Amino acid sequence: MEQCACVERELDKVLQKFLTYGQHCERSLEELLHYVGQLRAELASAALQGTPLSATLSLVMSQCCRKIRDTVQKLASDHKDIHSSVSRVGKAIDRNFDAEICGVVADSVWDSREKQQQTLQTAIVEHLYQQGMLSVAEELCQESTLSVDLDFKQPFLELNRILEALHEQDLGPALQWAISHRQRLLELNSSLEFKLHRLHFIRLLAGGPEKQLEALSYARHFQPFARLHQREIQVMMGSLVYLRLGLEKSPYCHLLDSSHWAEICETFTRDACSLLGLSVESPLSVSFASGCVALPVLMNIKAVIEQRQCTGVWSHKDELPIEIELGMKCWYHSVFACPILRQQTSDSNPPIKLICGHVISRDALNKLINGGKLKCPYCPMEQNPADGKRIIF
Listed residues 227, 260, 276: the one ending a domain: 276
Whether residues 176 and 268 fall in one domain = yes
Whether residues 166 and 254 fall in one domain = yes
Highest mean pLDDT among 19-28, 39-48, 143-152 belongs to: 19-28
Whether residues 270 and 342 fall in one domain = no
pLDDT number for residue 371: 81
Using the Cα atoms of residue 13, residue 19, residue 24 and residue 25 in order, give the sign of their dihedral.
positive
Domain that holds residue 346: 337-390
Over residues 277-315, the pLDDT tens digits come to 777 788 888 888 888 888 888 878 777 777 777 666 665
pLDDT number for residue 1: 61
Provide CB contacts within 8 A for 281, sequence distance 6+: none
Listed residues 58, 73, 95: the one ending a domain: 95
pLDDT over threshold 80, residue 260: yes
Over residues 75-102, the pLDDT tens digits come to 888 888 888 888 888 888 777 776 566 6
Over residues 315-367, the pLDDT tens digits come to 555 667 777 888 777 777 777 888 888 888 888 889 999 888 899 999 988 88
Whether residues 188 and 259 fall in one domain = yes
Residue 127 lies inside a defined structural domain of this protein: no
Residue 33 lies inside a defined structural domain of this protein: yes
Q: For residue 373, what pLDDT band results from cuts at 50, 70 and 90?
A: confident
Listed residues 57, 76, 95: the one ending a domain: 95
pLDDT number for residue 108: 62
Q: What is the pTM of this model?
A: 0.56
Report how many domains make up the chain: 3
Q: Which CATH number is 385's domain given? A: 3.30.40.10
Residue 358 lies inside a defined structural domain of this protein: yes
Residue 101 lies inside a defined structural domain of this protein: no
pLDDT number for residue 105: 64
pLDDT number for residue 351: 92
Q: Mean pLDDT in the chain?
A: 82
Over residues 112-158, the pLDDT tens digits come to 777 778 888 888 888 888 887 888 888 888 888 788 777 778 888 88
Residue 20 lies inside a defined structural domain of this protein: yes
Whether residues 90 and 174 fall in one domain = no
Express as a percent the part of the chain with pLDDT over 90. 2
Whether residues 3 and 91 fall in one domain = yes
Whether residues 78 and 185 fall in one domain = no
Residue 149 lies inside a defined structural domain of this protein: no
pLDDT number for residue 284: 87
Residue 108 lies inside a defined structural domain of this protein: no
